[in-house]
Structure 1
Amino acid sequence: MGECLQATAIETKLRELMRISGSLEPALATRLEEIWRWIEQMKPGKLMQKKLLMGFLLEVIQDAEVWLALKPLTDAERESFLHQIPPPVRYWYEYLFPRWFTEQDNKFYIWKQKLRSGEFSQDDAEVIDVIAQNIKSRQGSVVQRYVADFSMATDAIVSSPTGKPLCVQVTSMSDEFSEYKYEEWKRTLQAWEIERGIFVSYNPGKEAFVRELVNVVLHNSNHLADYKYLKFSF
């Protein structure tokens, strides 16, 4: 019963956020309504079985709440808050999240159906989690979002302790076959006007690749120039 109530609460929360954003940010209200209409016919028990879908919905609700809390602030108040949070988090709320709900997302209609039907698999999820833990252990910062993954070809937004946000895509596809995926990734980042990114193909059998990859990520957070999209293989 508790799980069903939780799923019901998600739909209630979406409607509440639609109402609040209707006056503060109509574009966000439109996106939330699109999401709500997408799930409104699903029974709560069925919704709870879709773990990735539930994760996406909870993320969107959280991000909408934070963004709507920032919206009424003065510029100085908003800047003060954003200055206190890690660079990737700031980049998400200040730039990428609002771009997602104000711009057309050509991939949304595709992945939301796959997410609902359970077709998505996160083959590299464990590796990405290990990479994220290693970056954090070196005082770096990491943000992961389903929207960034599915629509913006970004497994994680990262930064070193003193660097700038960097969008990272990781794949176990061999270097020989990853060139097309790299070009597609670069086009996606450019379409969203993401200024910097690195694409990494790795060999799961190579023991040291996580350490090497983390070194590359932290280095490029500090040094990669704007409008650069680099490819690495480990």
Structure 2
Amino acid sequence: MQAKEIKDKINTLIEQASSIDPTLARRLEEINRWLKHTKLGSLNSKPIVLAFLLELITDSTIWLLIKSLPSPEEQQAKFAQMTPNERYWYGYLFPKWINATDSKFYIWKQKMMSGEFNQVDSDIIKSIAQDIVRREGNFWQRYIADLSMATDLIVSHHDKKPLCIQITSVSQQFQRQKYQDWQNSLRSWEIERGLFVSYNPADSNFINQLVNVALYNSDHLAEGKYINFS
């Protein structure tokens, strides 16, 4: 989908949301203001911005579909068709983001537009996600979760309990502060379980170790726990 189609689709979603979920409409209007002065050609040259907007369009479309169902029973039936991670996203985190004051939103959308945002761990996270699927787990990934909620991946396994995970190669010197910031962020979004994993790229087995830890804690980590693994 090109920039013009994306802008048109967001406007259409604002119209739909105005009668179904006005709070979502206001959030999408905020996105529109952010895009207002960016020319279409410039927007088309920003793949991360486009990827974020496509995710937002997908999430908003699904959310409006759920909200427009005539009864709570039908809404619950729709949630029942989803994976545990999708259900956690659409049933909890995404509506929480729609309704919350996101203190990080202004900062990261400006960085994203200016090209300052870079995903230094993206290849590692992709490899971890692929290994999770190979081992019969599930993952979910969203820019909003990453940038506002300090969550690179949402992972679930046998017990189908989603776990929010941040993955970093931060040095030991800065690890304590980053862990504290991460924990504060999860608490502020009322995310009840979290895993903070720092890795050493020089360790050839670290992806296997990270996946082991992620899948185990998805099944076993208690609510109210935020653990640091390195």
The one-character-per-residue Cα deviations of 1:200-221 (angstroms, maximum 9, x if unpaired) are 0000010111111111111111
Task: Tell which deviates more after alignment, 99-108 or 71-80.
Answer: 71-80
Match of 1:164 in 2: 161
Structural mapping, 1:86-97, within 5 Å: 86-97=83-94
Query: CA offset at residue 175 of structure 1?
Result: 3.1
Q: Deviations over 1:150-175 (max 9, x none)?
A: 10000011101323000000001123
How far did 1:53 drift?
0.6
Deviation per CA, 1:113-151, whole angstroms, max 9, x where unpaired? 101101011000000000000111111111100000010
| 1:231 correspondence with 2:228 | yes
Report sequence identity in percent.
Answer: 51
Q: 1:111 aligns with which of 108, 126, 149?
A: 108
- Could you say which residue in structure 2 is the equivalent of 1:75? 72
Q: TM-score, normalised by structure 2?
A: 0.97
Which of 6, 11, 15 is the matching residue for 2:7? 11
The reply to whether residue 44 of structure 1 matches residue 73 of structure 2 is no
Q: Which amino acid aligns with 1:170?
A: I
Preserved CA contact (<8 Å) 1:195 1:228: yes
Cα distance between partner residues in 1 of 2:160 and 2:62: 24
Q: Does the 8 Å contact 1:174/1:202 carry over to 2?
A: no
Q: Structure 1: 5+ residue runs without aligned partners?
A: none
C-alpha contact (below 8 Å) 1:141/1:161 kept by paired residues = no
1:33 lines up with 2:26 in the alignment? no
Which runs of 5 or more residues in structure 2 are unaligned? Answer: none
| Matching of residues 186-225 of structure 1 within 5 Å | 186-225=183-222
Of 68-77 and 151-160, deviating more is 68-77
**Matched residues, number:** 229
Deviations 1:39-97 (A, max 9, x none): 02211110011111111100000000000001122222221221121111110000000
Deviation at 1:177, TM superposition (A): 2.4
